[in-house]
Structure 1
C-alpha cells in the first residue's frame, strides 16, 4: 500500500520529529533514484529494439522483438526484484503491444487470430498489471464481436456487440468485487473501457440501426435512453461517481444528437441546446459535490 504524506506539514504540526522526517525523506530519495534508473533502463531497451526494427522493418521483426521484450520483462517480474518491477512492467507492456501489432498485421483478417490476440492481451495485462493492455484487450474483444468485411457504414452486428459488452461489464463488475484491492484496478479499467465502448455501439446504432438484426435507429435511440436511465439510477444509489459521470456525458451526446436531428442546426436550436448543456453541467457538478460529502464505496 502506498501512502502520500506531506512531511513539511506533518513536521510543522508536530506530528513527527525532525529525525523521523529525515528518515522518511531518505526512503523517498532511494525510491526516486530507483524510479529514474528503471525509466532509463526501459528507454534504453526500447531504443535498442526500435533500432533493430528500423534496420529490419518487417512485421515478423516487430513480433519477434515484442516477444523478446515481453519475455525479458516477465523474467524480471518472476525473479521478484523489488527495484526493477517498474522496468519489467514498462518493457512487458511495450513488448505485448509490439507482439500484438506484428501478429495483427500478419494475421489480423483471421477471426481466430483476433480471439488469440484478445486472450493474449488479457493475459499480458494480468501479468504486467497494465491498465493499457487491459483496455486494449476489451477493445480486441469488441472487434471479435463486430468482425465485418464491410466496416462502413457500421450497420451490422451492433446488437451482438452491445449484448457481448454488457455481459463483459457484468462479469468484470462481479470479478472486481471478489478481487483484492491491489488486483481490483485492472478489472475496473477494463469495465470502464467496456462501458465507453457499449455506449459507442449504442450511438452508432441510434444513427445507422442494425440491418443484420432488423432493428431501426429509432429503436436503438429508445433502448439506449432507457438503459442509461436505469444504469444511472443504479449508479446514484450505489454511489458510483465515475459511472454517473459517464452516463451523464453519453446522455448529453444522445440528447443533442436527437435534438439537432429533429430541429436542425438553426440559431434557436443551437441557443436552446447551449442553455440545456449548461443546466446539465450544473446538475452534474452539484451531484459530484454531493457525492464528495459521502463515504466512497468503490472506485468504479
Structure 2
C-alpha cells in the first residue's frame, strides 16, 4: 500500500514531529532511488532483449536462449543469492522477453502465440516479482483482440479493433486484480495493482476509440467471413453510446477514488476525462477561437466543482486504503 503525504504541512499542523518527518522522508528517498534504478533496468532490458532477438538466426534460437537466461535468473532469485539479486532479476526479465519475442515470431503473431506469451509473462512476473512483466502480460492479452500501436515519422498511432470486448474484458480483469491485491502480501499486492492499473488504461483506450469510431463488432460477427470495409460502414454500437458510458464511468470512478483515497485513479480519471471532453468537443464544434474558449471555461468549472468536492471529503476523511 502506498500513500501520499505532505510532510511539511503535517509538521506545521502538529500532526508529525520534525524527527518523524525526516525519518519518513529518508524512507521515501530510498524508494525513489529504487524506482529510478528499476526504470533504467526496464529500458535496458527491453533494448537488449529486442536487439539480441533480432541478431539471433531463428525464432527457435531466441526461445532457447530466452529459456536458458530465465532458468539462470530463477536459480539466482529463488536461491536468494543476495549479492547477485539485481543480476538475477535482469536475467529473468530478459529471458522472459526473449522467449516471448521468439514465440510471437514463430507463431507469426497469431492469437495462440499471444495467449502463450500472456501466460508466460504472467507466470514470469510472479517468479521475478516484476511489475514490468506483469504489465506486459496485460498488454499481450490485449493483442489477442487486435490492439496495437504504431510509429512513423513524428506520428504515433493506437489501434483498438474490439472496443466493446476490450472495455468488458479489462474492466473485469481490473476488478479481479484489485480485489486480489487486498488479500495478497506486499510484493504480490504490487503486481496485482500494476495489472489493475494497466487494465484501466486499456479500458480507457477502448472507450476512446469507440467514442470516435463506434464498434462494428468484428469478432462477434465473424471477421473472416465479412469484408472489413463493409463492416465499418455498418457500425453496431454507435460512438455516442461509448461517449455517454465513458463519461459516466469516469465520473463514477473519480467519485469512488476520492472517497477511498485512490490518488492514482483520481489522476487517471481526470486525465482521460480531459481527453474525452476535448475529443468530443472539437469533433463536434471544430477548433475555433470560440470553441477553444468555451471548452476552457467549461473545464475550469468542472475543475472547480471537483476541488469543492475534494475539499468536503478532506474535511471528514474516510478510514480507507490509499494507493
Give me the TM-score of the superposition, normalised by structure 2.
Answer: 0.69
Residues of 2 paired with 1:174 and 1:243: CA distance?
Answer: 15
SS at match of 1:170: helix
1:250 aligns with 2:272: yes
Residues of 2 paired with 1:52 and 1:105: CA distance?
Answer: 13
1:167 aligns with 2:172: yes
SS at match of 1:95: helix
1:196 aligns with 2:201: yes
- 8 Å Cα contact 2:62-2:99 kept in structure 1: yes
1:1-300 aligned at under 5 Å gives the runs 56-146=56-146, 156-212=161-217, 214-277=236-299, 297-300=320-323
SS at match of 1:145: coil
Residue number in structure 2 paired with 1:4: none
Q: CA deviation at 1:183?
A: 2.0
Task: Sort the Cα spacing of 1:93 and 1:279 in 2 relative to 1 into closer, same or farther, 3 A.
Answer: farther
* Greater mean alpha carbon deviation, residues 282-291 or residues 105-114: 282-291
Residues of 2 paired with 1:112 and 1:262: CA distance?
Answer: 40
Residue number in structure 2 paired with 1:25: none
Task: Sort the Cα spacing of 1:135 and 1:55 in 2 relative to 1 into closer, same or farther, 3 A.
Answer: closer
Please give the root-mean-square deviation of Cα atoms over the aligned residues, in Å. 3.6
Residues of 2 paired with 1:108 and 1:289: CA distance?
Answer: 53
Task: Sort the Cα spacing of 1:289 and 1:120 in 2 relative to 1 into closer, same or farther, 3 A.
Answer: farther
- 8 Å Cα contact 2:170-2:203 kept in structure 1: yes
- 8 Å Cα contact 2:258-2:310 kept in structure 1: no
Task: Sort the Cα spacing of 1:76 and 1:283 in 2 relative to 1 into closer, same or farther, 3 A.
Answer: farther
Q: How many residues align?
A: 262
SS at match of 1:273: helix
- 8 Å Cα contact 1:161-1:201 kept in structure 2: yes
SS at match of 1:109: coil
Higher relative contact order, chain-length normalized (CA < 8 Å, sep 6+): 2
Task: Sort the Cα spacing of 1:73 and 1:252 in 2 relative to 1 into closer, same or farther, 3 A.
Answer: same
- Which whole-Å deviations, capped at 9, do the CAs of 1:114-141 have from their partners, x for residues lacking one? 1111010000011111111100011111
Residues of 2 paired with 1:57 and 1:80: CA distance?
Answer: 34
